[in-house]
Amino acid sequence: MTMLEIIEKKKLHGELSREEIHFFAQAAAEKSVPDYQLAALLMAIRLNGMTDRETTDLTLEMRDSGDVADLSAIPGIKVDKHSTGGVGDTTTLVLTPLAAACGVPVAKISGRGLGHTGGTLDKLESIPGMKVAMSTDQFIRQVNEIGLVVAAQSGYLAPADKTLYALRDVTSTVDSLPLIISSIMSKKLASGVDAIVLDVKTGSGAIMHTLEDSKALAEGMVRVGRLAGKPMVALVTDMSQPLGTHVGNALEVKEAIDLLAGRAGGDLLEVSLGIGGWMLKLAGITETAEEGEARMREAIASGAGLQKLKDMIAAQGGNPAVCDDVKLLPQAAVIRTSVCGKAGYVQKMDTEALGLASQAMGAGRETMEDQLDYSVGYVLKVRLGDKVEADTPLVELHAKNEADAARAEAAIKAAIRIGPEPAEKPPLFYAIITE
């Protein structure tokens, strides 16, 4: 068997065998064939697709190309959540403490932000002293002691995906459904959890901009999860505007703390509770997702969710006092408010452009080597469908200097359309896809 034979077969619409897919995944993990041959096969897959069986085989072979975490030392059903990414998406920091407070053992591996989407690890590292790197033994010990850990990947998980992900970015094959599914699911399955809740975004700030494509991605991942023996649920949620009102690392931590403290509500809370309700159901804590949501609301009211976040911050070397005084989080040098400038209705947002505006302020990266400014970002004061006047506050800017604030203000105003016709508020949930 050679790589050229596999490329030729897929080029001619053939269905690859498990052995051929194993050869491909191992070649990617070990870099034993030239990048141009891997790229050729990626393009053949992008053009000709894969069957469900091929996609599942690729997912499992990518999972098995490196380490597979063993979380059997943690009692109970370990449930993870994964989001396909967006702007102001701070659900992990809201729902994982609530789920843990309700009895779900949460052992979560998260990532960093790149481009217009934020990363959970970057948000956590805005907390003074907070550490996200730990050994597997430390990871398991913390879950057993406090029921919750959110940390960086340790070990050698899905190395085939690392190679293929980088090649997809430079070969225009990022939008291949089988490749997206196998990339996400191989890492999730390698993380060792027992069940997974997926949050698949749709809209201008999502990887999939149309509802049809987002549903197809969600359904594909649920099918692969089922074939791999993992209980899964996927929720298709809105990303036609930032999910939370706060965009930027320390600002998003502040919003999560405000929600857990019961001082705030809104779309971020409702989506977090929707995802968390399914986590509790898959963990066997409640009979239904609705009961799970109710339990999580009780954890907010009692303070148990906020206490669980404090416990995690303390366990990972951070200062838990930020949960009592959010001003202990990094503060920007320039904080000022900009108004809408015209009357009308908020009709549309270019959410990707809003994410890039935050990135340009220093809250995000263009390359993984870029250094972040944890204090910068902004707080949006309007939502889609809102009626506004010329003097209605539009955005509170948190910048390192006035020049950055002015550039961000211009970018944000350009990304938000205000017009004379009323606009409907988009739904938060479009679909729930189960096995």
Neighbours of 15 (CB within 10 A): 12
In sequence order, which ranges of 172-229 are alpha helices (DSSP H)?
177-190, 211-227
Which of 126, 182, 183, 240 does the annotation list as catalytic?
A: 183
- Using CB atoms within 10 A of its CB, is residue 392 exposed (0-12), middle (13-18) or buried (19+)? middle
Picking from 369, 376, 259, 374, the residue whose alpha carbon sits closest to that of residue 309 is 259
Q: Is 400 a catalytic residue?
A: no
Tokens of 270: 């409702």
Which of 63, 116, 123, 187 does the annotation list as catalytic?
A: 187
Which of 80, 161, 194, 404 does the annotation list as catalytic?
A: 161
Which of 22, 81, 82, 254 does the annotation list as catalytic?
A: 82
Instruction: State which H helix or E strand residue 23 sits in.
Output: helix 18-30
* Whole-number Å distance between alpha carbons of 126 and 373: 9
Angle at 187 (CA atoms; ends 285, 6), nearest 5 degrees: 135
Which of 10, 63, 78, 168 does the annotation list as catalytic?
A: 168
CB-side neighbour CA atoms (13 Å) of 331: 8
Q: Is 168 a catalytic residue?
A: yes
Picking from 43, 122, 128, 54, the residue whose alpha carbon sits closest to that of residue 90 is 122
Cβ atoms of 76 and 105 within 8 Å: the answer is yes
Q: Is 187 a catalytic residue?
A: yes
CB-side neighbour CA atoms (13 Å) of 170: 8
Bridge pairing between strands 195-202 and 79-83 = parallel
Q: Is 204 a catalytic residue?
A: no
Q: How far is CA 58 from the centre of its chain?
A: 22
Q: Is 373 left (phi over 0), alpha (psi -120 to 50) or beta?
A: beta
Cβ atoms of 351 and 393 within 8 Å: the answer is no
Q: How far is CA 44 from the centre of its chain?
A: 28
Cβ atoms of 399 and 361 within 8 Å: the answer is yes
Catalytic sites, residue numbers: 82, 161, 168, 183, 187
